[in-house]
Amino acid sequence: MRRFTSNKKLLEIYWIYSLPIFVILWCLSGALLSLKYYTVALISAIFSALFLAFLCIWIPRFYNSIVFKVEDDHAYAKFGVWWKIIKRVPYALVSEIRIRQGPLQRKLGLANLDLFTPATGVIKPELTYFQIEERLAKKLQNEIRKKIGLLTPKERRYIEEEILEELKAIRRLLEEKF
């Protein structure tokens, strides 16, 4: 069993995600001040400060709540500050594994590893190891592929070539006898 968590850069990326909200609130407060709507500008500034305080508490608590495991027969994820989300997916049900990265994740060397099952299809993953180091995501992808019996394209090609050679040998033997 391997236990791990999201990368510490999750804290950074969540602050980057929330930055546009602060920019909008600060611009709104500035525009309201210039238009002499002091009360509304003050309310906007207070809301911005409260939101900042909330994020200062929530983001680290969310990071500390994350637990991922690669068990012998299951993939496991647990996270959440107020509502705990616990997901445990048997490898026998996993039909596809994908690594997903956005532009910020690529810049920070992070990735998400999505595990899909036939129940969810390919639209929504059943379980996601989110904001993990890119190298770890690739390593886990290969490890889980082996556990569930999915072959990489290179492995599949090698096996297909072996099967083709075996079929050719069988054909030669049959042609010799008949």
pLDDT tens track for 149-163: 777 778 778 888 889
What pLDDT sits at residue 178?
74
Section 155-174 average pLDDT: 87
What pLDDT sits at residue 108?
94
Q: Is 22 inside a domain boundary?
A: yes
Tokens, residue 142: 């290969």
What pLDDT sits at residue 44?
82
Bridge partner list, 171:
none
Q: From CA 150, how far away is CA 119, in angstroms rounded?
A: 18
The type of residue at 19 is L
What pLDDT sits at residue 30?
83
Q: Is 51 inside a domain boundary?
A: yes
91-128 as b/e, with b when 16 or more CB fall inside 10 Å? bebbeebeeeeeeebeebebbbbbbbbeebeeeebbbb
Alpha helices, H only, 35-110: 38-65, 103-108
Section 108-120 average pLDDT: 91
> Whose structure tokens read 């998400």?
112
Q: Is 74 inside a domain boundary?
A: no
Tokens, residue 112: 């998400």
What pLDDT sits at residue 38?
83
The confidence band for 75, taking pLDDT boundaries of 50, 70 and 90, is very high
Domain of residue 52, residue span = 6-65
Q: Is 125 inside a domain boundary?
A: no
Q: Is 156 inside a domain boundary?
A: no
Tokens, residue 40: 């509304």
Q: Is 13 inside a domain boundary?
A: yes
User: 6, 132 in Cβ contact below 8 A?
Assistant: yes
User: Residue 83 pLDDT more than 90?
Assistant: yes
Q: From CA 145, how far away is CA 128, in angstroms rounded?
A: 15
Domain count, the chain: 1
User: Residue 111 pLDDT more than 90?
Assistant: yes
Report the chain's mean pLDDT, rounded to a whole number.
90
User: Residue 121 pLDDT more than 80?
Assistant: no
Percentage above 70 pLDDT, the chain: 97
Write out pLDDT tens, residues 137-153: 999 998 898 888 777 77
pTM over 0.85: no
Pick 26 or 125 by higher pLDDT. Answer: 125
The enclosing H or E element of 138 equals helix 134-148
User: 41, 25 in Cβ contact below 8 A?
Assistant: no
User: Residue 6 pLDDT more than 90?
Assistant: yes
